[in-house]
Amino acid sequence: MTIERRPGASGIGRDGSPDQAPSVLVEDPERSHRAAGCGTGTDIFDNRLIFGDNLPVLKALVPDLAGRVKCVFIDPPYNTGSAFAHYDDGVEHAVWLDQMRQRIEIIRVLMAEDAALWVTLDDNEAHYFKVMCDEVFGRKNFVSDITWQKVYSVKGSARHISGMHDHILLYAKNIDVLTIGRIPRTARNNKLYRNPDNDPRGLWRPGPLAARNPYSLGTYPITCPSGRVIEGPPNGSYWRYSKERLRELDAKGMIWWGKDGNNVPAPKIYLETVAEGTRPTSIWKHDEVGNNQDAKREILDLFGEDMFDTPKPERLLERILHLSTAPGDLVLDAFAGSGTTGAVAHKMGRRWIMVERGEQCHSHIIPRLKKVIDGEDKGGVTEATGWRGGGGYRYFRLAAPPPASNAPIGEPARST
């Protein structure tokens, strides 16, 4: 199958002028893959793996997919100056930024109104990228710069500061309609809830009665059941309930005074009434979402000796997709690397498109996805998502070479 660009339907250059080279994607069914059997009825087969430079590829996707992608995750070359085994990661700063801008402008067009863009970078380019991205998306659509702890041990050989984190920049296409999910409650969160007084409402934990918000009725003395008198709230704070409301809650058994009736009264917070999950914060620790070592271990388990230098851990992608997509939503990764985004999206029942210009598209992504689809990948988030196999993808490549003016981000690795 060929996806042809309709005349006049793209032309997303920096100045909005029409571009010259039409991009055509051609399917190669030999390289496409689907699970044996008919699947479960919920299987997704129309995922796309596209081999080629992402600039013409993204342009070719516009006629079909403008405004339809729910979540974009990209992990582009960080421009560190390193020569990795599968790609070189060092171009002149202004060139890198300009190439990223061209791609981000098209990515924005592909995003649905309520979509999110997540971008991982490090200190080499993150701040410059943010300024550029603010221009493309508008500053009001910047959501957060999340700190992901990618490393957990100190590097003694670091010249000044031992770097431990990456930036994950999050943008909304339109912040007014963006929804970000919650992080599911863990057994550890729930352990805080007990029921020492056999409250028929179930498990609860003590909450604070004092708050910082000024409240004119919240300054009274309290006499505990033990007889102890608490003169008032701590300095600079106020009781959050009036005297009458506190008495009412106490009469219903919803205030905890400690087992001897001598504590500062604590309103009970019931597990049943708290939200399904917690609001995500801007710090993501390695033990919650994985680190670089976890990611390399996942690749090692999949490919044995055949390493990939810069993969992301599956748990990191699981969190991102959980927060910004629902089953069936379309996810795009235009810098696919070893294919982590597609593998995780597949296991989570999301539809996906991945683009990769290096040979890792064939040496890593295809074998990885075949294992996922055939139910042979037991690692990463397979157990957490309950994944057993199924679905498929279609493989496409660019029919025409990219025009010379669209030099790729990150030079291809030189053969030695």
Ligand X SMILES: C[S@@+](CC[C@H](N)C(=O)[O-])C[C@H]1O[C@@H](n2cnc3c(N)ncnc32)[C@H](O)[C@@H]1O
- Rounded to a whole number of angstroms, the minimum distance from the CB of residue 181 to ligand X is 21
Query: From residue 332, how far is each of 13, 118, 148, 353, 390 by CA, in Å?
Result: 20, 10, 21, 5, 20
Q: Which is nearer to ligand X, 268 or 315 (CB)?
A: 315
- Rounded to a whole number of angstroms, the minimum distance from the CB of residue 338 to ligand X is 3
- Rounded to a whole number of angstroms, the minimum distance from the CB of residue 93 to ligand X is 16
Q: How far is CA 128 from the centre of its chain?
A: 21
- Rounded to a whole number of angstroms, the minimum distance from the CB of residue 26 to ligand X is 17
Query: Is 312 a binder of ligand X (CB under 6 A)?
Result: yes
| Contact letters for ligand X, residues 16-55 (x by CB under 6 A) | -------------------------------------xx-
Q: Which amino acid is at 414?
A: R
Q: Copy the structure tokens of residue 386.
A: 């309950």
Task: Say if residues 171 and 116 touch (Cβ distance below 8 Å).
Answer: yes
Q: Which is nearer to ligand X, 246 or 295 (CB)?
A: 295
Residues 6+ apart with CB under 8 A from 216: none
| Contact letters for ligand X, residues 92-131 (x by CB under 6 A) | ----------------------------------------
DSSP string, 286-318: HHHH--HHHHHHHHHHHHTT---SS---HHHHH
Q: Looking at 338, 368, 380, 387, which residue binds ligand X (CB under 6 A)?
A: 338
- Computed on alpha carbons and rounded to an integer, the radius of gyration of the chain in Å comes to 26
Query: Is 380 a binder of ligand X (CB under 6 A)?
Result: no
Task: Say if residues 289 and 191 touch (Cβ distance below 8 Å).
Answer: no
Task: Say if residues 76 and 119 touch (Cβ distance below 8 Å).
Answer: yes
| Contact letters for ligand X, residues 341-360 (x by CB under 6 A) | --------------xxxx-x
The torsion angles phi and psi of 349, rounded to 5 degrees, stand at 75, 25
Q: Which is nearer to ligand X, 117 or 409 (CB)?
A: 409
Residues 6+ apart with CB under 8 A from 155: 162, 163
Q: Which amino acid is at 14?
A: R
| Contact letters for ligand X, residues 54-93 (x by CB under 6 A) | x--------------------xxx--------xx------
- Angle at CA of residue 168, ends 163 and 172, nearest 5°: 160
d(CA 84, CA 106): 27
Q: Which residue is nearest to ligand X (CB)?
A: 337
Q: Looking at 310, 324, 325, 382, which residue binds ligand X (CB under 6 A)?
A: 310
Contact stretch for ligand X (CB under 6 A) within 111-119, 231-239, 261-269, 331-339: 331-339
- Rounded to a whole number of angstroms, the minimum distance from the CB of residue 382 to ligand X is 16
- Rounded to a whole number of angstroms, the minimum distance from the CB of residue 129 to ligand X is 14
Query: Is 150 a binder of ligand X (CB under 6 A)?
Result: no
Q: Which is nearer to ligand X, 239 or 335 (CB)?
A: 335
- Rounded to a whole number of angstroms, the minimum distance from the CB of residue 355 to ligand X is 5
Burial of 136 (0-12, 13-18, 19+ CB in 10 A): middle
Q: Looking at 22, 277, 367, 408, which residue binds ligand X (CB under 6 A)?
A: 408
Residues 6+ apart with CB under 8 A from 27: 1, 2, 394, 395, 396
Block residue for tokens 């863990």: 186
Binding-site size for ligand X (CB under 6 A) equals: 23
Q: Looking at 335, 352, 387, 395, which residue binds ligand X (CB under 6 A)?
A: 335
Task: Say if residues 246 and 265 touch (Cβ distance below 8 Å).
Answer: yes
Positions that interact with ligand X (CB under 6 A): 53-54, 75-77, 86-87, 308, 310-312, 335, 337-338, 340, 355-358, 360, 408-410
